[in-house]
Amino acid sequence: MSKHLIIDGHLDMAFNGLFYRRDLTQSVYELRNREDSNRGGVSAHPDSLERRMGPRPKHFTPTVALPEMRKGKVGMMLSTIMARVQDPAGNTHNALRTQANAYARGQSHLAYYRALERKGEITFIKSASDLDACIQSWENPTPETPIGLILSMESADPILGPDQVGEWYEAGLRSVSLTHFGANSYGHGTGTAGGLYPPAYPLMDALAETNIAIDLTHAADIAFWHIMDYWKGPVHASHCNCRALVPGQRHLTDDMIKAITDRGGIIGTVFAEQMLNPVWNWDDPSTHYATSTRPMKAAIEHIDHICNLTGSTDHVAFGTDLDGGFGLELSPTDYHTIDDLQRFLDLLSAHGFSDEDVAKYASGNLIRFFKNIWS
């Protein structure tokens, strides 16, 4: 059977490349060999005269790189600008103390994507015609076919104000979540209780002048409903699972799922142990652990739940978040690298999804979602 074109609705490629210092143009297996050692030192070169130990980012075993994406026909992705205002700590990754710092970090992520574009590794998708061209290029791909990038932003902190929305739109931004982890510049996100802050409203007014979608992932419960009450434009949840199956505020309640899908939104399935195992409660750190136990088919439980709740297969998609602050250690037990997403499509078929429904999950639903916005 020929491979379906896949769109991954949420990857953090710039974060992955810059924070973990990975060359994502190399294979996953090469990246695993190259991971930073614990030797420390100014230089790892044998002629280095100095050796020093210092703090290093915590690394997880990588599973995502551009060659494996091509191998698995993951030909398009929503990938992030990711920087948030939050008191930094050892486990907060891209947290920064000021919005100016968040803007600068966001610009570095944009520069990374532009560098990949310059090398022919990716191509920006900013319009319906760009989307059609990318789809056509993956009908008969080569080992050099660029991967299409729909630029997203995880927390709106890099947008310094409403007057800057146009700048980010011209750069290619087509989806933005207002919050992330913690309480950020525009409101409350995952792990907090509260709603939007006043600056969020003029920001949404400026976003409404474009065709940028709002991503409801990482909105605290009250903030979620504040957004839905005020925002009349397109919405989706790029990487969320179901709270009915796994506890914790990080997931969507059934009412939230219905609110998103009633407005034509798509919900991306996350491929992470902490999103798939009902033992793990995001709001209770005592339930967290370091090794995955559930296979990829556990994600089908969430897909089934959304499809049964909405009465169709029109609102589900990949939103894996793979290597987004975790790696192989908390990925499904039968998953090794991102080209295994094709095997997941086989699992959907074996579960009883028709080939048409599998194709919608793989890419069709997200294609329809963005074409409707951009037409």
CATH code of the domain containing 221:
3.20.20.140
Is residue 1 a part of any domain in this protein? no
Q: Which of 211, 234, 215 is nearest to 152 (CA)?
A: 215
Q: Which residue has the tokens 């574009």?
A: 117
> Residue 44: its pLDDT value, please?
62
Whole-Å CA distances, 87 to 98, 188, 265: 9, 14, 32
Strands 147-154 and 122-124: parallel
H/E stretch holding 113 reads: helix 99-118
DSSP annotation string for 196-213: B-TTHHHHHHHHTTTTPE
Is residue 48 a part of any domain in this protein? no
Q: Using CA atoms, how far apart are residues 47 and 210, in angstroms rounded to an integer?
A: 54
Is residue 40 a part of any domain in this protein? no
Give how far the C-alpha of residue 141 lies from the chain's centroid of Cα atoms, to the nearest Å: 24
Instruction: Kindly state the tokens that stand for 123.
Output: 């191509």
186-206 pLDDT, tens digit per residue, is 999 999 999 999 999 999 999
Instruction: Kindly state the tokens that stand for 208.
Output: 């409404």
Q: Tens place of pLDDT for every residue, the chain, 375 residues?
A: 579 999 999 999 999 999 999 999 999 999 999 886 544 555 666 665 655 555 555 679 999 999 999 999 999 999 999 999 987 776 667 788 999 999 999 999 999 999 999 999 999 999 999 999 999 999 999 999 999 999 999 999 999 999 999 999 999 999 999 999 999 999 999 999 999 999 999 999 999 999 999 999 999 999 999 999 999 999 999 999 999 999 999 999 999 999 999 999 999 999 999 999 999 999 999 999 999 999 999 999 999 999 999 999 999 999 999 999 899 999 999 999 999 999 999 999 999 999 999 999 999 999 999 999 999
Q: Using CA atoms, how far apart are residues 334 and 292, in angstroms rounded to an integer?
A: 10
Backbone angles phi, psi at 301, to 5 degrees: -60, -40
CA-based torsion, 125, 186, 215, 339: positive or negative: positive
Is residue 42 a part of any domain in this protein? no
- Our count of domains for the chain comes to 1
Q: How many helices (H) does the chain have, and how many strands (E)?
A: 14, 11
Using CA atoms of 349, 353, 357, 360 in order, give the dihedral in degrees to the nearest 10: -50
Is residue 199 a part of any domain in this protein? yes
Looking at residue 330, what DSSP letter applies? G
Is residue 253 a part of any domain in this protein? yes
H/E stretch holding 339 reads: none
Instruction: Kindly state the tokens that stand for 55.
Output: 């703090």
Measured distance between the N- and C-terminal CA atoms of the chain, rounded to whole angstroms: 32
DSSP annotation string for 259-326: HHHHTT--EEEP--HHHH-TT--TT-GGG--SS----TTHHHHHHHHHHHHHTSSTTEEE---TTSS-
Q: What is the pTM assigned to this prediction?
A: 0.95
What domain range is 266 assigned to?
6-34+54-374
- Cross-strand bridge partners of residue 291: none
> Residue 52: its pLDDT value, please?
52
Is residue 70 a part of any domain in this protein? yes
Is residue 39 a part of any domain in this protein? no
> Residue 318: its pLDDT value, please?
99
Cα atoms in the 13 Å half-sphere on the side-chain side of 84: 27
Q: Using CA atoms, how far apart are residues 310 and 303, in angstroms rounded to an integer?
A: 11
What is the CB neighbour count within 10 angstroms for residue 92?
A: 15
